[in-house]
Structure 1
Amino acid sequence: MLDYDGTLSPFVKNPEEAVPSEELLNLLKKMTSDKKNKVVINSGRDRQVLDRWFKGLDLDFAAEHGAFFKENGKWHKNVQEKIKWDDEILRIMEHTIDKTPHSHMEVKDSSLVWHYRNVDVWLAELREKQLINALMGPASRLNLQIVPGNKIVEIKSPDFNKGSEVKRLLQKAGYDFILAIGDDTTDEDMFHALPPHGISIKVGHFSPAAKYRIPVQSSVIPFFENLIQ
């Protein structure tokens, strides 16, 4: 179970430009060539992007942190219907964007995301705290979850996450070897959902939720190349 941004692919200033490299695509082809392997990209990305970037590969997906999943070529949803966003939340997000140059909002089917990767560090830290504080009231009222991530703040339903997708997969079949890897706080839900014999790997900073650590993203593909040899 593989996170994408910051794990399989480095972060870039424009998220739309984080397309998979040929090196990564070749690695995934090798991993999926053995039909005993089930390879799942468990990502915050939306369905359309995952389908476009990995077209033709025998992969399964979890999109938008488990809100949607794809198996055997077909998408399924864990959300009953597209969320209609509260006016107060939209106003708060738009106000934050107005006073934070180079930030923007992404509207997904199941979440809203404020991106601030290109914002000056001192301003980004201030605005992140202000946004989270402003969202706490309406999020509590509407039973929504605020999820700070790597240069993002996301607001979503608490009913699904990367961990809930792991649990769903493990209920369907038994596996001799289970590995999950990711770089962000959202990936810790995935680590916590693993059985005791599961292998959890954090990319970047140390996480007590993971058994192992790969210090830098650039070492991830070489790690898997060695593993599948």
Structure 2
Amino acid sequence: MKELLYISKQNNEIFQKIVGKRQLSQIKKEYDQAYTRLILLDYDGTLSPFVKNPEDAVPSKELLNLLKKMTADKKNKVVINSGRNRQVLDKWFKGIDLDFAAEHGAFFKENHKWHKNVQEKITWDDEILRIIEHTIDKTPRSRMEIKDASLVWHYRNVDVWLAELRQKQLINALMGPASRLNLQIVPGNKIVEIKSPDFNKGSEVKRLLGKNNYDFILAIGDDTTDEDMFHALPSGGVSIKVGHFSPAAKYRIPVQSSVIPFFENLIK
């Protein structure tokens, strides 16, 4: 009986977190009453659906128009806090008055200028490269992405059973060299990323909050890396998880396709 009550309570909590009319009304009330707003947006899986090839996940016209409306309101500071690199963010959102955090906080852009939280471009250890390359050789349709501040193994197009096996094997193989080199292994949505532990999406939020005070703060994302953002918000902040339930977020939007309509309703 106790187990049933516990499960029932959990189910109720999960259901209550879903953004429906009542929750949207409350968030919108806080938004409308605020004079200074910080809006933190993940990209892949949040503003844009996942696709087979990450290079094809270009922003839709609907999204670009939404971002233009959001940034036209001078009460809003809108930041795309993404794992994407600087070059892609600049290319895709050219002409829109956005700020960015690239590669999970390794770089940030304010007032049209990029700044870095890493001292220099990382030279990757041969052992780590060999481990990832060996995994790719054994895993058809997987690939490695070398960024300025991180290495990423992508396996979105790999058969599910093989992907799960190889992901566990790769993480186990990387633990030794990653520990020796003081690097962090971050499992994400169909990726495994190797990076410095000195920055993440949450450290970028803390940097922003340290510079200004905001009446309204909202962060939205779909991945485990976005939970760093949620944890960095003050108690009155609005955190929204897209997709599966997360105890780190106050609210949940179950499907990615509902994200743009949510913001359209929020700002109208």
TM-score by length of 1: 1.00
Q: CA deviation at 1:36?
A: 1.4
Q: Deviations over 1:88-122 (max 9, x none)?
A: 00000000000100000000000000000000000
Q: Deviations over 1:118-143 (max 9, x none)?
A: 00000000000000000000000000
Q: d(CA) in 1 for partners of 2:261 and 2:74?
A: 22
Q: Deviations over 1:144-189 (max 9, x none)?
A: 0000000000000000000000000000000000000000000000
Q: Which residue of 2 aligns with 1:83?
A: 122
Q: d(CA) in 1 for partners of 2:183 and 2:95?
A: 35
Q: d(CA) in 2 for partners of 1:81 and 1:194?
A: 29
SS in 1 for 2:172: helix
Q: d(CA) in 2 for partners of 1:74 and 1:181?
A: 24
SS in 2 for 1:147: strand
Q: CA deviation at 1:77?
A: 0.1
Structure 2 residue ranges without an equivalent (≥5): 1-39
SS in 2 for 1:69: strand
1:221 maps to 2:238 = no
Q: Deviations over 1:49-71 (max 9, x none)?
A: 00000000000000000000000
Q: d(CA) in 1 for partners of 2:221 and 2:73?
A: 23
- Larger RCO of the pair (alpha carbons < 8 Å, separation 6+): 2
Aligned Cα root-mean-square deviation (Å): 0.3
TM-score by length of 2: 0.85
Q: d(CA) in 1 for partners of 2:92 and 2:136?
A: 28
Q: d(CA) in 1 for partners of 2:237 and 2:81?
A: 16
Q: Which residue of 2 aligns with 1:2?
A: 41
Structure 1 residue ranges without an equivalent (≥5): none
Q: 1:24 aligns with which of 63, 66, 74?
A: 63
Q: d(CA) in 2 for partners of 1:103 and 1:17?
A: 16
Q: d(CA) in 1 for partners of 2:75 and 2:254?
A: 29
Q: d(CA) in 2 for partners of 1:137 and 1:188?
A: 25
Q: Deviations over 1:177-229 (max 9, x none)?
A: 00000000000000000001100000000000000000000000000000001
* Count of residue correspondences: 229
Q: Deviations over 1:10-60 (max 9, x none)?
A: 000000000000000000000000111000000000000000000000000
What are the residue-to-residue correspondences of 1:1-229 with 2, within 5 Å?
Answer: 1-229=40-268
> Relative to total residues, which structure has the larger helix share, 1 or 2?
2
Q: d(CA) in 2 for partners of 1:81 and 1:27?
A: 35
SS in 1 for 2:100: strand
Q: d(CA) in 2 for partners of 1:152 and 1:105?
A: 10
SS in 1 for 2:207: helix
Q: d(CA) in 1 for partners of 2:72 and 2:180?
A: 48
Q: d(CA) in 2 for partners of 1:47 and 1:93?
A: 23
Q: d(CA) in 2 for partners of 1:150 and 1:78?
A: 24
